[in-house]
Each structure stands twice: as C-alpha cells, then as structure tokens.
Structure 1
Amino acid sequence: MKFRYAAILGAIAALALPFSAASAQTALKWAHVYETSEPFHTESVWAAQEIEKRTNGRYHIDVFPASQLGKEADINQGLTLGTVDIIISGSSFAAREFPPIGVTYFPYTFRDADHLLAYTKSDIYKQLTKGYEEASGHHIVATTYYGTRQTTSNRPIEKCSDMLGLKMRVPDVPAYLAMPRACGANTTPIAFAEVYLALQNGTVEAQENPLTTIEAKKFYEVQKNIVLTGHIVDHLNTIVSQSRWSQLSDEDKAIFTEVMQEAAARATKKIVEREQKLVQFFKDKGVTVTEVDKADFEKAVTEKVKFEDFGYRKADWEAIRAVK
C-alpha cells in the first residue's frame, strides 16, 4: 500500500514539474524600431535566447522589431507604462529625461567607433548613465555603435562654407542640427520615409545619415556626392525599465548586463565592417566620395554653438574627448 501511495505521489509530482517550471518563467518584451535584417535586431534576438539559456529558462524574451510596439517615443514611454521591459533607443530620447547625456550627440565629440567603445568603459559614461537612471528610473545596460553620420549632396562640398544656403534634410534633434546650421545650411525636418522622394524631386538638396543608412535607403541613387563630414558618431542604448530591473536578482542583473554588452559589441563589429566596405561600393556606383577637413567644420561648430543651449555641460564633453 505504501509503495502504491508513493508511486501515485511520485506521478503527481512528475506531472506538476512542467507546470511549476512554466509558472516560474517570466516573459519579457524587448522593443525597437529597426528592421529585422539589421544587427540591432539580429543581435537582440541572440541576446534574448542567450539570457534564457544562461538563466536556465527563468526568463523568456520576445523581441519586437520595426516599430511593432510603437515608434521610438512610444517605446520610451512604454518603459514607464510597463508595456515594454527592454528597448533600444538613441541618446536623444534619453536626453529628454536627463539633458546632459545628450552631449554624446554634440558634433565631433567622438573620434570614431573605437573612441565610443572606450567611452562606454569610462567613468564619465558611468556618471552620465547614472544621471539618466536617477532622472528616469530606467537602467542603461549597454551602448551600440550605430554608425558615423555623413552628408550626401547634389552640390560638391569640401569645406564648411560650401554648405551656405544648402537645402538640407536633418532630423529635428537639436544636436543633429548644430553642424549644418553652423555651416549656414537651410535645414528642414522631413519624415524619414519621404527623404528619398524629397531628394529626388529637389525639395531638399542634401541629407545626413550613416553610410549604412545611405546604402539601405538608396539615397546614393539620387545624390551625386557623399561627403565624409563624420560629424556625429551615432549610437544606441539598450535600456531596461525601472520596474523590471528592480525585480532582477543581483545574479540575473549580472547575466543581463554581460549578455547585452556582448550583443552590443557583436552588432558594433558588424556595422564597422560594413562601413569600411561601403566607400568603395559608392565609388563603384559612380558617386563622388569626398574626404574633408573635419577641423574646419568643428571650428564653425565650436565658435557658433553653445553647449548650454542644449542643456549640456562642457565639462562632460571635455571628459569624453579625453577618453583614450
């Protein structure tokens, strides 16, 4: 009899195991606005799977690309509303909560992708991300290189003054506007989906974006010149919501951090490699690719643009510039 009861209890326990395991698993939502083919998505999927594996299935993360859960402003708000747990987003949105972190978008702050990566390991990075966390409650876990912003134009550009009067599409982000306006361009915001047509029909004569975007959106088809102004080394942050981060154990926080930073490094490597190949790609397409004296552009910005106009602190900028 005792054996029969033990066998029955054992069978019940065995049946209960899958249910208890399932109930112990926490489902999370990770959202971003990038396409499924881009490294920001593919490496996020890798990270989601890796976190599930390293936490022994305690967390299952679904990644929602291409604005499936809303535009960038929406998913940032979703962190607070609790509709998303993790997002990938630019520092321009983080700066809405904590303006000083936006100094990373000030023209000619970073020398290149290596400088950006060195910054993510620096004390000033810790200070700025901590300031954002104190202001918003949310936690920046990793930063990924997005690409260096360059200029395309139907007008040859070799120096800053060549941009005088140029009709140029620039996103309505203050730091993005700084260099073109300092050089005298007439800037206008146009919806990203409409930029190709606006360049094609002459509504604007120029725009600025990383080389990978110029390729993906085929802007080179309707622009004669790619000018390597390199004015902003653009980047994205991986952010975990306050509510979710506070619920993680120290062990799980360490796992999330390690995996997400590894994913950021993997994506960065792919983007850098792609950019290096694109200059020749554009030349092969018959586009004129021009190297410029960046110091000339930087001089115009530093003379005409004040950090305080954006809510930035010059000391932060100087600390970032000093990172080796």
Structure 2
Amino acid sequence: MKFRLTMLLGATAAILASAITAQAETVLKWAHVYETSEPFHTESVWAAEEIAKRTDGRYKIDVFPASQLGKEADINQGLKLGTVDIIISGSSFAAREHPPIGVTYYPYTFRDPAHLIAYTKSDIFKKLAAGYEQASGGNHITAVTYYGTRHTTSNRPIATCADMAGLKIRVPDVPAYLAMPRACGANTTPIAFAEVYLALQNGTVEAQENPLTTIEAKKFYEVQKNISLTGHIVDHLNTVVSGMLWAKLSDEDKKIFTEVMQEAAERSTKIIEEREKALVDKFKERGITVTEVDRSDFEKAVMEKVSFEEFGYDKADWEAIRAVK
C-alpha cells in the first residue's frame, strides 16, 4: 500500500510538474523586418527577456528579425492568421485595416521627434489606435517608437522639389509614402525593403527614402552618393500584439506587456535620436554629399497637389495632430 501510494503521489507530482512546465513555456513569436544591429531588434530582445522575468517565466518570446517570418505586409497578415503574435510595424500598414491612422504619414505632419512622442500620448492617438483595434479584430498597439526622420538618397544631387522630376525612386508599397515624391514629379516604384540595396545597385531605381539610421544599417550609402535632408516624414513604428493573444492575456499580464514594450520603445527612441545627430558628419567623412534643402518648397508642393481624402485620411485628425504641443 505504501508503495502504491508513493507511486500515485509521484505520478500526481509528475503531472503537476508537467502542467506547470507547459504553462511556463507559452512560446510567442515576435517578428519584424529590421537588422539585428538596429535598436528595434536589440530592444525587442530585451523586452522579450524582461517579459519572461516579470511573468516568472510563463512566457517565452522568440524574436525573428530581418524579414525571417516574411515581409512587412506578411507579418501584419500573420497577426490574423496566428503565425505571429507580436510585430513591429509602421502605421502605414495599420492603415490598411483602418485608413485614418495613416494620416501621420502625410508629409510634414510632425515638427520633430518630440512632437511625434507628444502625439502618442494624446487623445487623437487614442482615438486612431482604438479605431485600428476595432477594424483589425482586436490587434492592440502597446507602444510607439520613433523610427527616424525620412530623407532621400539618390544618384544625382537633389536640392529642390523640381530636382525630383522624372526621378525613379523606390518607396514602400504604401500609398502615403508616394505623396512627396509624386508631388515633386518623381516616378515611384514600390520595392520590398529587403530588395532595395540590390535595386539601387543594379539601377532598377535611382533613389530611395529612409531615415539616416536605416541608410547606415542597410548600407545604402555604398550605392548612393547623395543624401538630401528632405525630412518629409517623421516616422514611427508600432509594437502590435495580435487580437488573439491580447484577448487571452490577463489584466495583470496586459499591464506587464504594455509597460515593458513602452520601456523598450523609449530605449529605442533614445538610441535613434542619438545616432541621427552623429550621422550627417559620419556620412560626409565617407565622401557622401549631404544637401540641406528648403523643406517649405517640398511641403508647398504636397499641400497643393495631395489631398487627404485620396488616402482615406480625415483632415480634422491631421489638424488635431498638428495642434498637439
């Protein structure tokens, strides 16, 4: 009897241990398209480890960088399919579900990174994020990271809006990114992010636009010798938790995920701002021609030629963002 009781207790303990282990090993996939050297990756890894600590190991989050689980459109779709649980992606992709949230990509909306961050704490951001959550089936934006201010690299110097006439320029496959180049007469070509370097190298396109930090990380400066500081979009990335996962999380875990992801976003934002400050001089040292432009020239062309309505944006939302202090 004692032997049988011992065996029974041992079996029960084994079952309980197995259940606890299973609970401890809830594995989640966090995907993005950025290089491992970029803070969007390093701080995601930090956040994954921090969430594991703060939840006593109940969640194990694997981070997949550099389009390992698909291009940006793919990982956004993956939130619905259940192939990914968390992604980092721009509001331009969220706008495919809820067009109004993409108004932040209308050129020259934000004055600077501080204005962007102030927006993420505003009522207009809460309204737009809630609209996206409802339209996407529950996908929840937990944090926003400053991605960088977008500038233009090209084979030939660009000093004015008119200089872009006829220029073959790569833009992401997102309508809002077309606004400034098309307003200035450029020929836009949507090419996947992972394929841009080769497209510039083989002459498929003559130009592209991205923040200085991305120009460095993706080594676009190796195949483009001109950078024009057009500063047309103060860009950002959202950390998005799938609706399926968000619905399963307890209130306590939602709080942990949100706090950690916001801390990671703040860390990334600080790194990006510090890197940007140093990069202009660094590019000049490499022999790159860096041109300061009159941004009002580009902004004037956009305001005259690009309507909010064609992108599904509400001008009232744009005005509310512009009014944020």
TM norm. shorter chain > 0.5: yes
Q: Output aligned runs, 1:154-303, within 5 Å.
A: 154-303=155-304
1:59-111 deviation per Cα after TM superposition (whole angstroms, max 9, x unaligned): 22111222222222222111111222111111121111000001111101112
1:203 to partner: Cα distance = 4.2
1:181 to partner: Cα distance = 0.9
Aligned residue for 2:96, secondary structure, equals helix
Paired position in structure 1 for 2:88: 88
Letter of the 1:246 counterpart: A
1:130 to partner: Cα distance = 0.1
Call closer, same or farther: CA 1:45–1:199 in 2, change over 3 Å: closer
Q: Is the deviation greater in 200-209 or in 170-179?
A: 200-209
Paired position in structure 1 for 2:120: 120
Call closer, same or farther: CA 1:193–1:42 in 2, change over 3 Å: closer
Q: Is the deviation greater in 82-91 or in 126-135?
A: 82-91
Aligned residue for 1:156, secondary structure, equals coil
| Whole-angstrom CA distance in 2 between matches of 1:165 and 1:84 | 40
| Whole-angstrom CA distance in 2 between matches of 1:250 and 1:219 | 44
Letter of the 2:82 counterpart: G
Call closer, same or farther: CA 1:174–1:240 in 2, change over 3 Å: same
Aligned residue for 1:108, secondary structure, equals coil
| Whole-angstrom CA distance in 1 between matches of 2:5 and 2:56 | 29
Q: Is the deviation greater in 170-179 or in 151-160?
A: 151-160
TM value normalised by structure 1: 0.92
Letter of the 2:95 counterpart: A
Letter of the 2:88 counterpart: I
Paired position in structure 2 for 1:305: 306
1:10 to partner: Cα distance = 7.5
Q: Is the deviation greater in 260-269 or in 109-118?
A: 109-118
Q: Is the deviation greater in 173-182 or in 63-72?
A: 63-72
Letter of the 2:130 counterpart: K
1:135 to partner: Cα distance = 0.4
Call closer, same or farther: CA 1:204–1:59 in 2, change over 3 Å: closer
Call closer, same or farther: CA 1:7–1:209 in 2, change over 3 Å: same
Aligned residue for 2:95, secondary structure, equals helix
Q: Which runs of 5+ in 2 are unaligned?
A: none
| Whole-angstrom CA distance in 1 between matches of 2:172 and 2:28 | 31
| Whole-angstrom CA distance in 1 between matches of 2:199 and 2:253 | 48
Q: Is the deviation greater in 174-183 or in 222-231?
A: 222-231
| Whole-angstrom CA distance in 2 between matches of 1:223 and 1:202 | 10
| Whole-angstrom CA distance in 2 between matches of 1:154 and 1:81 | 40
Q: Is the deviation greater in 256-265 or in 288-297?
A: 288-297
Paired position in structure 1 for 2:23: 24
Identity of aligned residues (%): 79
Paired position in structure 2 for 1:153: 154
| Whole-angstrom CA distance in 2 between matches of 1:210 and 1:296 | 20
1:20 to partner: Cα distance = 3.4
Paired position in structure 1 for 2:143: 142
Call closer, same or farther: CA 1:195–1:83 in 2, change over 3 Å: closer
Paired position in structure 2 for 1:59: 59
Letter of the 2:318 counterpart: W
Q: Is the deviation greater in 204-213 or in 239-248?
A: 204-213
Paired position in structure 2 for 1:49: 49
Q: Which runs of 5+ in 1 are unaligned?
A: none
Call closer, same or farther: CA 1:274–1:8 in 2, change over 3 Å: same
| Whole-angstrom CA distance in 1 between matches of 2:155 and 2:66 | 30
| Whole-angstrom CA distance in 1 between matches of 2:196 and 2:8 | 67
1:289 to partner: Cα distance = 1.2
